[in-house]
Amino acid sequence: MLFKNATIIDGTNQPGFPGHVLVENDRIVQVFRQEEALPKDLSDVWDCSGKILTPGFIDAHSHNDFYAAKPDHRLYFEPFVRQGVTTMVVGNCGFSAAGYAEQTRFNDEVGGGLFSNDGKNFGSFAGWAKKVDRHMPVNMVALIGHGTARIGANGKANTPLSAEAKVQMEETIERSLSEGAAGVSFGLMYEPGQFAPLEELESIAKIVKKHDKIITFHARACSKVSTSYHPPVGGRAHNLRAMDEVVAIAKKTGAKTQYSHLIFVGKRSWDTLEESLRILEETKASGVDIAFDMYPMEFGASVITVVLPVWYLGMEPKRRKTLINRLRLSLEVFIATKALGFGFGDILVTNTFGAFKELEGLRVTDIAKKWKMGLLKTYLELIDRTNGRINVMMYRYQNADIIERLRRHPQSLYMTDAWIEKESGVQNFAAIYAFPKFLCLALEHGTPLEEAVHKMTGATASRFGLPNRGTIAAGNFADIVLLDPARLGYTEGRDLPPTGIDLVMNNGKIVVREGIFDSAAAKNVGRILKV
């Protein structure tokens, strides 16, 4: 198949050029400049006049490994594929679908309540990879979640690892890395990652360094004040302390480090933007290979318990309800939300997993009115009645100016951090149009499209060590997006597919044609990319 007369933006950050791309089976066999002679007798020619041809987009931060083995692929993956996504980096924030002891009795805790393997036990990376390879609509490169590995050995409770459990956890991680996992992710704000002592984190980072792979961090705090530190207010901004912790681990172990989803939760955190970037720049200048990823949204998906303090989460449910603990909690949560510039009105319930369907789409403030209860009481009531199993969308993570600053930063990569929730009335819009929005932002602000494309293709492929992906070059896999810059668009705040993503090809198969998703073609196209 020949893509003829396209403007080729090849993912390397070099200027686009007019030319043609020849694809055979699952590979790009040749890239021609406009003036070069083409082979004769080509039957399948696609006229790309006026269109831009790029590599397939690589989502640098995804959780869709938990959806790869679910039956309804179309539901979970169509929105991403229609954005132009052909590959996802999965297993982030300490959560991964695989990478834990097969004989574990804690199988149900894998996913931390945010995600689930539906009772399946995949064990190490290889078991999962075998199950999903060529049975999904996108390619996946997988990190092993430290949280998942720790749950396999010890559950998600706040109890120290025995020497035996630590050995088991590290062996599972090491085995998964040898089997082709791309690195390890940490979720220091989530159970059980938040309970792990520094020595445990460093020990794993050293294993990853030995394998020359990457560590990624969901940091302990993403806001200026938080309940992760004591006292919950005051002193150095908590998100900066959390970044210091990541930087210290990176410097001490020398492991290649990715700071996940750089965000600034709550309006009062926004003045830490410049110092955060300075720390990341200085760390890189000191010789540590560090970068970050970001999305173009002002909100993010999380779990309802994410703003609760560690001491409370680590407590037995019975003790949580004692008056003294409730009072302490009320005070800490009250102070923290004030100091954050963030309130219960910024928490929107997206999924209650069937418990309170009528509340999905409502903010905690709306629910309080409905239930005629105080805000904190409503919030705690929601947690108690569902055992904390509620997914939410949190607003005021950043604003348009911050997005602009991060989007153009030399150390940023692009991602969605999104997934589709079946039972939910509200989808995360990043799943619908994050990548087209990145391209639109470049066009609106008059910044190079080449740079934007690079940060969602070639830069990401090289960061995670993917061979033969992320650039338009002879010999590479034929992961291709054809877009129409005149029609490129998305609808802010609406669950409507983007426009102008005309064709998406993955491993040489067309999965979106004239904007329409081809479910039959997509079903088995995605491969596990072993690193």
| Binding-site ranges for Zn ion (CB under 5 A) | 93, 218
Q: What is the dihedral of CA 487, 492, 497, 499, to 10 degrees?
A: 0
* Closer to Zn ion by Cβ: residue 93 or 452: 93
Q: How far is the CB of 218 from Zn ion (least distance, A)?
A: 3
Q: How far is the CB of 105 from Zn ion (least distance, A)?
A: 26
DSSP-derived pairing of the beta strands 391-394 and 501-506: unpaired
3-state SS string for 123-184: CCHHHHHHHHCCCCCCEEEEEEEHHHHHHHHHCCCCCCCCHHHHHHHHHHHHHHHHCCCCEE
* Closer to Zn ion by Cβ: residue 332 or 417: 417
- Per the omega criterion (within 30 degrees of 0), is the bond before 231 cis? yes
Q: How many whole angstroms separate alpha carbon 221 and alpha carbon 127?
A: 33
DSSP-derived pairing of the beta strands 139-145 and 85-90: parallel
Q: How far is the CB of 262 from Zn ion (least distance, A)?
A: 11
* Closer to Zn ion by Cβ: residue 303 or 449: 303
Q: How far is the CB of 217 from Zn ion (least distance, A)?
A: 9
Q: How far is the CB of 73 from Zn ion (least distance, A)?
A: 24
Q: How far is the CB of 221 from Zn ion (least distance, A)?
A: 12
Residue 59: CB atoms within 10 A of its CB come to: 31
* Closer to Zn ion by Cβ: residue 193 or 458: 193
* Closer to Zn ion by Cβ: residue 144 or 362: 144
Phi, psi of 328 (to 5 degrees): -60, -45
H/E element holding 31?
Answer: strand 27-33
* Closer to Zn ion by Cβ: residue 20 or 218: 218
Q: How far is the CB of 302 from Zn ion (least distance, A)?
A: 8
Please report, for residues 34, 250, 279, 352, the alpha-carbon distance to residue 259 in angstroms, rounded to integers and kept in the order given.
40, 10, 12, 29
Q: How many whole angstroms separate alpha carbon 381 and alpha carbon 385?
A: 6
Question: Which residue's CB comes closest to Zn ion?
Answer: 93
Q: How many whole angstroms separate alpha carbon 62 and alpha carbon 259?
A: 14
Q: Name every residue whose Cβ is closer than 8 Å to that of residue 48 and which is 6 or more positions away in sequence.
A: 3, 4, 5, 6, 482
Q: How many whole angstroms separate alpha carbon 400 and alpha carbon 295?
A: 11
CB 495 within 8 A of CB 432: yes
* Closer to Zn ion by Cβ: residue 238 or 469: 238
Q: How many whole angstroms separate alpha carbon 278 and alpha carbon 373?
A: 44
* Closer to Zn ion by Cβ: residue 2 or 243: 243
- DSSP codes of every residue in 287-336: T--EEEEE-S-S-EEEEGGGGS-HHHHTS-HHHHTSHHHHHHHHHHHHHH
Q: How far is the CB of 99 from Zn ion (least distance, A)?
A: 17
* Closer to Zn ion by Cβ: residue 51 or 396: 396
- DSSP codes of every residue in 243-261: HHHHHHHHHHH--EEEE-S
Q: How far is the CB of 415 from Zn ion (least distance, A)?
A: 10
Q: How far is the CB of 220 from Zn ion (least distance, A)?
A: 12
H/E element holding 55?
Answer: strand 52-55
* Closer to Zn ion by Cβ: residue 193 or 436: 193
DSSP letter (8 states) at residue 38:
P
* Closer to Zn ion by Cβ: residue 259 or 379: 259
- Per the omega criterion (within 30 degrees of 0), is the bond before 448 cis? no
Q: How far is the CB of 264 from Zn ion (least distance, A)?
A: 14
